[in-house]
Structure 1
């Protein structure tokens, strides 16, 4: 977490040799912010099997790194599958899907990974469709894995953009029969009107649905201290860690066993780590 505060030469020294990433380095890849040198190491083909999943699962991973994986993958199919199934960036995930389609990857293989996405990730993947035609296509492909609220939201969007007929087509296709479609779709069919679909979407939009209608709190960074004049963590890093790769490494080892720490807890850990090394006479 704190390695991103380090001067570049310190971060790169901790990045280590071009071998498989150490457990400490993999641990850092799961947290944020990310040190640029460590990101570059994780993109190396020799970084080991844990590097890519950790990098893709971290919302702090730079877009430039994700684009490099997308457009210059070591394995065109496997890397794009990893981006589709693990990446936290919805736009990159959607772009990976398009690349897999261009490569002719079977839909059965794509579906195997898409159906295991969480509701928020799946909704965002389909919602990234740039046109009504593409939205209609993706709803037919993946709509069976959506819950009722996500379905209502996307049906409402499709109806607003292209009228009710594409929604009727998707709903009947997914249900297997016209008589089995959702009540809002049935009402829309009966009146040849988009209004029931839009009302259903409005009701879903009014609900608290993390990742769909409201931000996912699990993906929001912790707030910084309100007073910009008081930045104790940054001050502690500058005073106690700058220019000391030994202290950075000791700090990471302690972080791995410390559990979740808030801002104050991180500040105290920096201070106690530096003090312990000084008391032990390990500093040169």
Structure 2
């Protein structure tokens, strides 16, 4: 069985499989920037019926991003042959044992069982889809990223490129303290975060921010600080000063520093 947590020296190889019928081409820039955070996109394939005009937007970006189009004719009206083709390819790639994880780009719940099957083999599964994606598919992935975030990020990057750049200090301050206005901001689930902290904290109530993020993702694969207007989990926690407190500690293992968080209580 493959190791779900590659050692730091290993390169994490990912297979990116895109359902062109259920993913907009506007996400392509943000999609591969996001995927680069998790590993190397060793395989990039996109599935659809390329004989029709409906995938014209994708055709314009395939060469720029070295995405291999896979032709799948719609043999019967109303039946999605693209899903079957993607699933078959995913299983073929799985049995090569060359990959550490898969990126499934679709808002279609038909890929729920595929995601579960890949995880059964010990591989990481990253899902990418719109906020309308059915919850069973979201829950079947190790992590799920809503593509509205990627589109908002792409729009922000284009706009920022047209404006005069602020100083690096001003940019850092702005990013850490202000919500991202381009994202449709949701209410921060402070009670949920507090419960996770209570479940895994030490005897003094502290938990490492990295461990907190990992446990949140296990419970809610679609959790993303950008959904709540913040680029990082640490920024989100800092914004909730009435509920949480942060502490910066030195680490003997790496010689660097790490953030720890705990719930604020009246008796402290």
- Higher strand proportion (structure 1 or 2): 2
Structure showing greater Rg: 1
* Length-normalised TM-score, structure 2: 0.26
- Higher helix proportion (structure 1 or 2): 1
* Length-normalised TM-score, structure 1: 0.25
